[in-house]
Amino acid sequence: GRILSGMAVPVTPPPTSPMVQHHLTAEVDAVVKQQVAMARLGVGECGTGWQLFAEDGEMRMYRREQEVDGMVVDPLKAVHTVKGITGHEVCHYFFSPQYRYDWETTLEHMNVVETISEDTLVFYQLHKRIWPASQRDVVFWSHIRHLPNDQDRDGPHIWTVVNQSTEHPEYPGCSGKTVRIYLTVCLLCQTIVNPPKDGAPISRNDISCKITYCSVVNPGGWAPASVLRAVYKREYPKFLKRFTAYVINQSKNKPIMF
């Protein structure tokens, strides 16, 4: 069986697909551009009523209450500033499959279904069950990208990871007792550097990372709104705090990855 509950098995992704232009390439590019543009909008702009629901130090989490066919799909937008790490580092640890079990606490199983290219993978994830709801799973492509700042060559460069639900013939999602989740997630990271005045080399004390995390998750099947919103409220702050602490810890004795 492919399900190894909770075990951190070493991940050996399948080899890169040999096609010149994979059928997902155009979709990936379009969704990434759209998600990055949306993530760059502040929570005050657009007049769309983001409401603050969690706050901890520099971290702020906002949501908009939204339902589709009676199901809660509240969009989430979180902003955070973390000292001592770069946007490249944050995106590297979020994207790479070998670290996922270290920081993703809701995971029961994860595997790479397909390697589209070095920067685009397709994942299958089975998440822990919340009693009494059905267990959830998800298939999504994940893309990591560096966005050079074209307005200001010395300005901050931006890194992003976008995850978007997709279909895969080996994981049909309509069989068995799991319910398929649909998600769109965008992690956008900007490195801020305060160069030391004495011309000394840049150290981790001189850098910080401005993080924006946006997510829309459709639970795929009915779940009580109050339970769902309670899960959101508990899990999203837990994720962002734990994940950023993980990146700080992984990066601290390594050279800065700009």
Which residues of the chain form contacts with ligand 18C (CB under 6 A)?
104, 106, 125, 127-128, 130, 133, 136, 138, 163, 181, 183, 185, 217, 219, 223, 227-228, 231-232, 235-236, 239
Q: How does strand 107-117 pair with strand 76-83?
A: unpaired
Q: Which C-beta is closer to ligand 18C: that of 122 or that of 217?
A: 217
Q: Which C-beta is closer to ligand 18C: that of 173 or that of 219?
A: 219
Q: Which C-beta is closer to ligand 18C: that of 43 or that of 61?
A: 61
Q: Are 41 and 64 in contact (CB under 8 A)?
A: no
Angle at 206 between CA 201 and CA 207, to 5 degrees: 115
Q: Which C-beta is closer to ligand 18C: that of 50 or that of 207?
A: 50
Give the count of beta carbons closer than 10 Å to the beta carbon of residue 248. Answer: 17
Identify the bridge partners of residue 60 per DSSP, sorted by sequence position.
Answer: 55, 79
At its nearest, how many Å lie between ligand 18C and the CB of residue 53? 13
In angstroms, rounded to a whole number, what is the distance separating the alpha carbons of residues 247 and 25? 29
At its nearest, how many Å lie between ligand 18C and the CB of residue 161? 8
Classify residue 88 by its DSSP letter: H
Which amino acid does the sequence have at 44? G
At its nearest, how many Å lie between ligand 18C and the CB of residue 169? 21
At its nearest, how many Å lie between ligand 18C and the CB of residue 163? 4
